[in-house]
Structure 1
Amino acid sequence: MTDELLVTRAQLGERAALAQLVARWRMPVWTYVRRMLDAERADDVAQEVWLAVVRGLPRLREPGRFAPWLFTIARRSVTDRLRGEYALVEETSAFGDLVGEAGAEDPAEALVDRAALVSVLADLPLLEREILVLFYLEDLPVEECADICQIPAGTVKSRLSRARRLLRGHLKEKGYRP
C-alpha cells in the first residue's frame, strides 16, 4: 500500500492506516533525528515529530508528498530543539558544555563499524550534515531535499559538494584514505 493511500485513509479517520504510516516511517525519522542530535535528544524530538504529524495530517493537502512533509517536520523539530538549547547556552554560562555534547558518541555506537563516520558527521556543520543525511542516508532526491530545507536545488547541490569536501578532509585527518 502506498504512502498516499495510507495518508488518505488516515485523514478519513482510519487508525490502522495511521499505525501503518508510523510503523513504516518510525525508524527513518528516528535515524534522521539521531544523526542530527545525540541519542537522548533524538528520542524526545522523534516523539515531538510524530505528535506534530498526528496533529497536522488532516491538513496535508498533497498526500503523495508525505515523505518530504514528514522530513520537513523532523527538520523543524531538530532546528527548534537546537535553537532552544543554543539560546539557553547563551543565557547561562553554566551550561557552556552543552554545545560540545551534541556530537558525543554513544558507547554502543563505538562498537559499530560506522562509528567513525558518525563521529565525523557530528563534526560537520549542521547545514552540511543535514544535506548529507537527507541525500545519502535517507536516499531522498535533490528536489525533496530542497523542499525539506526550503532552499533551491542548486543550493542543495553546492552544500552536498561542500559537505563531501569537508567529510573527505575530516576522514583524512582521522587516518582514513580515500
Structure 2
Amino acid sequence: MSDELLVVRCRLGERDALAELVRAWHAPVWGYVRRMIGPAEADDVTQEVWLAVVRGLPGLQQPERFTPWLFTIARRAVTNRLRAEYARPEVAADAEPVTPDPAEALVDRAELLAGLAALPAREREVLILFHVEDLPLETCAVICDVPVGTVKSRLNRARRLLRAELNRKEGRP
C-alpha cells in the first residue's frame, strides 16, 4: 500500500494505517537520527519525531509528499537536539566517548561510521539521506530546505571529507 494512501487513511482516523506507516518508516528514521546524533539519544529523538508526525498528519495538505515531510520533521528534531547539546557547557576531556553500536562489529563499518561522525553536520546529513537512506536528490533538497545544486555540492564535499578522514585514520596521506 502506498504511503499516500496510508496518510489519507490515517487522516480518516484508522489506527492500523498509522501502525503500517510506523512499521515502514521507523527503521529509516531511526537510522537517520542515530547517524546524525549517535545511538545514545536516537530512541528519544525518534519518539519525538513520531509524536510530531501523529500531531501533524491531520494538517498534511499533500499526502504524496509524506517522505520529505517526515524527514523534515526528523531533521528539525535532530537540529533541536544538537542545538541543545551545543548549548551545554563542555565536558572534561576524560569523559566517556560515544561507543559504536555493538551490532556493527565489522571493522570497516566501524571505521566508516567513525569517519562519518567526524564530518560537519550539513555534509553528514546529505551523505546519510542520499547514500544510506537512498533518497533522491530532490527529496534531500526539500528536507534540507536548499536547492538541488547545494545538495550536490554538499555531497561532493562530504565525500572528499570522508575520504580524507578515512585516509587520515589509516595513516595514508
Same fold by TM-score greater than 0.5 = yes
- Contact 1:105–1:119 (8 Å) recurs in 2: no
- SS at 1:161 equivalent: helix
How far the C-alpha of 1:100 sits from its partner, in A, is 9.1
Matched, 1:174 2:160: no
Find the counterpart in structure 2 of residue 67 from structure 1.
67
In the other structure, the counterpart of 2:43 is: 43
Asked whether the 8 Å contact 1:109–1:115 carries over to 2, the reply is no
Distance 1:107 1:8, change over 3 A: closer
In 1, Cα distance between equivalents of 2:167 and 2:103: 21
Partners of 2:104 and 2:6 in 1: how far apart?
37
Aligned AA for 1:117?
L
- The alpha-carbon deviation at position 96 of structure 1 amounts to 5.4
Of the three residues 97, 111, 114, the one matched with 2:109 is 114
Match for 1:106: what amino acid?
P
Structure-1-length-normalised TM-score: 0.89
2:55 corresponds to = 55
Q: Among 139, 147, 160, which residue is 1:144 paired with? A: 139
Shift of 1:176: 8.4
Aligned pairs for 1:18-33 (under 5 A) are 18-33=18-33
Q: Deviation per CA, 1:63-99: give whole Å up to 9, x if none.
A: 111111000000000000010111122xxx5x355x9
* Distance (whole Å) between structure 1 residues aligned to residue 21 and residue 30 of structure 2: 14
1:111 CA drift (Å): 1.5
Q: Which runs of 4+ in 1 moved over 6 A?
A: none
Superposed CA deviations along residues 94-126 of structure 1, whole A, max 9, x for unmatched, are x355x995xx23251561341111111001111
TM-score (normalised: structure 2): 0.92
Equivalenced residues, count = 171
CA offsets per residue over residues 154-176 of structure 1, 9 Å max, x none?
11010001001001111111228
Indicate conservation of the 8 Å contact 2:39/2:101, yes or no: no
Separation in 2, partners of 1:105, 1:135: 25
Deviation sequence 1:14-38 (CA, Å, 0-9, x none): 0000000001001000000000012
Show the counterpart of 1:156: 151
Distance 1:10 1:110, change over 3 A: closer
Q: Distance in 1 between matches of 2:84 and 2:170?
A: 35
